Chain A
Amino acid sequence: MKKRVSLIVVSILLAMSLVGCGIVTVVPIGQEASFTGKEEFDSGAQSSDDWSAVVEDIKASAADISEVLGNGADGTAVTGSAKIVEFNTETPKHYLLVEVDGYSGGEIRIQAGGVYSGTGIRDAQSVKAFEDFANQTEWSQYAKALNQEADTQVVAPLGIDESVAGKTVTFTGAAAESGGTVTITPVEMAIE
């Protein structure tokens, strides 16, 4: 018993001397920022702060979809209108399959709910650059957060369902091209 007590006392003394000598810094959980002066990166807050500027930026640089199609639409801001063929929810990535007048190439999809893929909006905007972030992880989180912003601000309010087939969609967004399929992530969209 005596041995155990002395062991505890020695451990406490050792711990105190470690702290005293600066060998260890004890930080209450969640209060690192007050020691480092660095805020934990919050991709959601960052993207909602930037959202309106990003929308304006993409609108300003958007090219008409008919000019871009067939000329490499990857990573560009686009705007235009198209006829909705269907609202596809077969996979977790929901999208509107659309037809643009005069274009008979691959499929054109507008992301519309579920899981959003790609980094289109982030890559098409010029409000924030990679250098504004600490590392690749933050840069990637930012892209996801912008996609999430598109969902809550643009897609969700429209309450899209199967009935949109045959209607016309007017949109502005970021296009990405892969295997002939053009996928647009909208930053502004209206269905009539």
Chain B
Amino acid sequence: MKTKKTNSNQLLMTILKGRTFIVLIILVVFFSVVKDNFLDPTTLTMIAKHVALYGILALGMTFVIITGGIDLSVGSVVGLIGMLAGGLIQYGLTLKFAGVTLYFSVPMIVLFMLIIGALIGCVNGLIITKLNVAPFIATLGTMYICRGFANLRSGGATFSDIAGYEGLGNTGFKTLGSNIAGIPAGVYVFAVLAIISVVLLKKMPFGWYVLGVGGNEKSARLSGIKADKIKILVYIISGFCAAWVGMINTAQLSAAHPASGDGWEMNAIAATVLGGTSMAGGSGTILGTVVGAFVIGVINDGMTMCGVSEFWQKVIRGLVIILAVVIDQTQRNLQAKMALQARNENK
């Protein structure tokens, strides 16, 4: 009798652990039945484009959430980076005192943007660790600051000329938004960053430290882990990822708009949580986040294709997130129960 119960518990655990993947399959089957063209290459390419954007943001967010933090600034960083990159391409960097304007090549601009993204993350980390500000508040502040600067860069206008000029040696930015061998460039970036993230989290001491800080910061500190440094680093990773998304999004749109990325932090958090990363910190996987990003992408694009209004989409997304957290909690309780049961049986 006892064994039967244990077996059913184990089956439930397996289902719960693979829940995001199961949900993804159900969603794909559902939308492909409802919409004939859902599995068309063009549709899949479009979904992949969007998934890559949320996914890259969610990769950075996963590290942050595992440490028990949150990064609300990523959506605004997307907007700011887009504006800075677009501005550098269209107007260059004017040095009035020298009477010249500098037009940088695209690889240089990409490098600058990644550095700026990482620096914003570093500022977030420093505010949180050195000034003891709660992550929610600190990143809420930088969220507003970055959005403000994004608007200030152009006075709220759009930079529509991001193709660059041969004569200025700054062409090629649009490649980031184009398809390479039929696959959006953003997907390649997502794949590479996901692999690096898996290595960082699973194979490097850094990953253990991140999990350690999130699991129990006090014991992590006592065992010699520099918790502040780890926390700053995860925000740097998050800013770095947001910078990639800012550039890819601008290249995809062929224009930089200061409102770009508005609310995307929520998609990133949703993908991370759906992927099984605990909001309390201490646990989470990159693979889970990747699947979570696909779920968010499929839900968003699937509902849009089915003609579900933007308002209802928000309601449904909210419900999905709440459901994900509830299931996560159930899984944890079940896990604890099973561990207790196993201990009793051993006795």
* A contact residues vs B (CB 8 Å cutoff): 18, 22-29, 32, 34-38, 134-137
Contacts and interface: CB of A to CB of B under 8 A. Distances in A.
A29 B94 contact: yes
B100 to A, nearest CB: 5
B108 A36 contact: no
Contacts of B280: none
A37 B170 CA distance: 14
Contacts of B107: 23
Contact of A24 (B105, B157, B161, B165): B105
B96 interface: yes
B168 A36 contact: yes
A101 B167 CA distance: 61
Given A135-B160, A137-B157, A23 B104 contact: yes
Q: Among the interface residues B92, B104, B167, which one has the most CB atoms of the partner chain A within 10 A? A: B167
B108 A32 contact: no
Contacts of A36: 165, 167-168
A36 B161 CA distance: 12
Interface in B100-133: 100-105, 107-108
Given A24-B103, A26-B102, A35-B168, 15 more contacts: A23-B105, A24-B108, A24-B169, A25-B170, A26-B103, A27-B100, A27-B102, A28-B99, A28-B101, A29-B100, A35-B103, A36-B165, A36-B167, A134-B161, A135-B161
A28 B101 CA distance: 6
Given A29-B101, A135-B160, A23 B108 contact: yes
Interface of B: 92, 94, 96, 99-105, 107-108, 157, 160-161, 165, 167-170
Q: Among the interface residues A24, A26, A37, A136, which one has the most CB atoms of the partner chain B within 10 A? A: A24
A37 B165 CA distance: 9
B160 A25 contact: no
A82 B100 CA distance: 56
A35 B103 CA distance: 11
Contacts of A26: 100-103
Contacts of B103: 24-27, 35
B99 A25 contact: no
Contact of B165 (A22, A38, A137): A38
B102 A25 contact: yes
26 contacts: A18-B108, A22-B105, A22-B169, A23-B104, A23-B107, A24-B102, A24-B104, A24-B108, A25-B102, A25-B103, A25-B168, A25-B169, A25-B170, A27-B92, A27-B100, A28-B99, A28-B100, A28-B101, A29-B94, A29-B96, A29-B100, A29-B101, A35-B168, A36-B165, A135-B160, A137-B157
B89 to A, nearest CB: 12
Contacts of B108: 18, 23-24
Contacts of B160: 134-137
B165 A29 contact: no
A34 B101 CA distance: 13
Nearest to A18: B108
B315 to A, nearest CB: 34
Contacts of B157: 137
B312 to A, nearest CB: 31
Q: Among the interface residues A18, A23, A37, which one has the most CB atoms of the partner chain B within 10 A? A: A23
A38 B99 CA distance: 20
A25 B106 CA distance: 12
A111 to B, nearest CB: 27
Nearest to B99: A29
Nearest to A21: B105
Contacts of A18: 108
Contacts of A38: 165
A18 to B, nearest CB: 8
A2 B102 CA distance: 29
A32 B103 CA distance: 10
